[in-house]
Chains A and B, each alone.
Chain A
Amino acid sequence: KQEVTQIPAALSVPEGENLVLNCSFTDSAIYNLQWFRQDPGKGLTSLLLIQSSQREQTSGRLNASLDKSSGRSTLYIAASQPGDSATYLCAVRRDNAGNMLTFGGGTRLMVKP
């Protein structure tokens, strides 16, 4: 059974810092990996999707990398801003397991002005 873990569970940084959020998964047979942002009491906003054949994806100040063989992905946020404060979730879709997503527990990020 696929297990997805995110470390750290919570992170507090001053504005302007570059930071890295980590996601690990136990079964490397994934089809793709998706990073989401979740604001308190709100839905999930898709940030980046990385296919299993890709190494990284970039969108603005966000860069996500994928090392499928080692079961890891990182989300790099450059020049963090208070508006980046949210919970960041990663989710993987397995090969040959339909298209359900298996989620990690999230990293709660606080960027202080």
Chain B
Amino acid sequence: EPEVTQTPSHQVTQMGQEVILRCVPISNHLYFYWYRQILGQKVEFLVSFYNNEISEKSEIFDDRFSVERPDGSNFTLKIRSTKLEDSAMYFCASTNRWSADTQYFGPGTRLTVL
């Protein structure tokens, strides 16, 4: 069964550094998302992406964050000037139709900012 994959599973970085989290969505999907979950808190929406542009973003997704689909398979989340409060599990998700369909989530990348 097709699945969303994410790398790395765990990323440790120093405050102020840049990180790139990588995702490979399900191959025939057209809509891509990033969510995050701070330990012990709710899963929160960050950004949605379609047709090579951002469709929607939350207030969490400030100008330190960016997303890109550099080729036909990868979808990346870049965080510049990382802060301690960026420490969280970051989930990538994809779906093949606008709104109506199931969002499929990857296993997550645990980001630890020291």
A window 57-113: CB within 8 A of B:
89, 91, 93, 97-106
Q: Point out the residues of chain A lying under 8 angstroms from B33, CB to CB.
A: 99-100
A105 (CB) vs chain B CBs: closest residue: B42
> Of A32, A46, A89, A91, which is within 8 A of B104 by CB?
A46
Given contacts A43-B107, A91-B43, contact A49 B102 (CB under 8 A): yes
Taking CB atoms, residues of chain B closer than 8 Å to A43 are 91, 105-108
Interface flags, B8-46, vs A, CB<8A=1, else 0: 000000000000000000000001010100000111110
Range, interface on chain B: 20 to 34
B68 within 8 Å of A (CB atoms): no
Contact assessment for B42 and A93 in the assembled complex, using a CB-CB cutoff below 8 Å: no
Report chain B residues within 8 Å CB of A102: 45
The chain A residue with its CB closest to the CB of B35 is A101
Q: Does B48 contact A (CB under 8 A)?
A: yes
A28: Cβ under 8 A from any B Cβ: no
CB <8 Å contact, B105 and A99: no
Q: Which of A31, A44, A45 contacts B99 (CB 8 A)?
A: A31
Q: State whether the Cβ of A34 lies closer than 8 Å to any Cβ in chain B.
A: yes
CA of A91 to CA of B47, assembled, Å: 16
Measured between beta carbons, the chain A residues less than 8 angstroms from B43 are: 44, 89, 91, 101, 103
Write the nearest CB–CB distance from A64 to chain B, whole angstroms.
13
Q: Which 8 A-B pairs have the closest CB atoms?
A: A98-B56, A43-B107, A44-B105, A100-B45, A103-B43, A99-B99, A49-B102, A43-B108
A49-B102, A100-B58, A106-B42 given; name 8 further pairs at CB < 8 Å: A44-B43, A44-B91, A46-B102, A91-B43, A100-B45, A100-B48, A101-B35, A104-B42
